Structure 1
């Protein structure tokens, strides 16, 4: 015969341990003499009205509650606002996106500076194409939809001409 003890100070009265029971005695107030049901993943058992009932057990699970990191340390359902998915980073403000766009644009313009040097061997047609490309880069921040994604893959970069 076994006593199956539960924590009667916890609101869900979770099972804690079992111990041999002395024949001819009554169980303590914090124990049942009813065997626990078969184990189930994510389930612990607690006492309610003299019976074992299933209680959710997410202890040790890490996630987010209202976008803040959270570690579950107690029995019961997942807290309100729970998510397994990390929150998205805050969107960049428009000024930061424009700054990134301009920095990438400036780097692309600078990469073509050599073609404008008087002693660079380039034909008139290629030079015209480079100037058109550089102007398109300068005009990009004024285009509708700017700052786009701040100079990333979604930015409609002009195509650099072959030189």
Structure 2
């Protein structure tokens, strides 16, 4: 005979190990004489003198549905409320038991990127214009420099005219 032991200090009483038993004795309080069943994704636990299969997600990664923070599962049983096995993606929010695209979040990100990009391009245009103005003031500007100065000024005006609060913008072509 074999005693199949379970951890009676744990609320789910999971199976722990097995040992040979004496034929003429009763199993201890934390053992059954019936072999537990093992099934993928479940773990045997004692319940009222019988083995029951409990969900086993240990070592899987779950995600907080509010913060999207990943957490490694270290317990037996169902996934805790407020968590999911579904991996979040960029610009998503939890809705109706799934991750969905949060267009407002995505658009806010794109708008911030647009503003940053335009600021960088205006700064670049300002630098080019200053150098060309210096050439003009020092009387060393060529006709090509004068034409280029006008193009950079027009480019800067076009950049400043863009409504960067829209997610889909078209940038002018750099001179």
TM-score, normalisation: structure 2:
0.68
Higher relative contact order (CA 8 A, sep 6+): 1
Note if contact 2:13-2:47 (Cα within 8 Å) is conserved in structure 1: yes
Instruction: Kindly state the Cα deviation for residue 148 of structure 1 after the two structures are TM-superposed.
Output: 4.3
2:133 maps to 1:132: no
Q: Which runs of 5+ in 1 are unaligned?
A: none
Match of 1:46 in 2: 45
* Stretches of structure 2 lacking an aligned partner (at least 5 in a row): 92-104
Residue correspondences, number: 152
CA distance in 1, matches of 2:144, 2:39: 76
For 1:51 and 1:120, the matched residues in 2 are separated by 94
> Considering only aligned residues, what root-mean-square deviation do their CA atoms show, in Å?
3.2
Greater helix fraction, Structure 1 or Structure 2: 2
- Structure 1 residue ranges (4+ consecutive) displaced by more than 6 angstroms after TM superposition: none
Which residue of structure 2 aligns with residue 60 of structure 1?
59
Match of 2:11 in 1: 11
Secondary structure class of the residue paired with 2:154: helix
SS of the residue corresponding to residue 46 of structure 2 reads strand
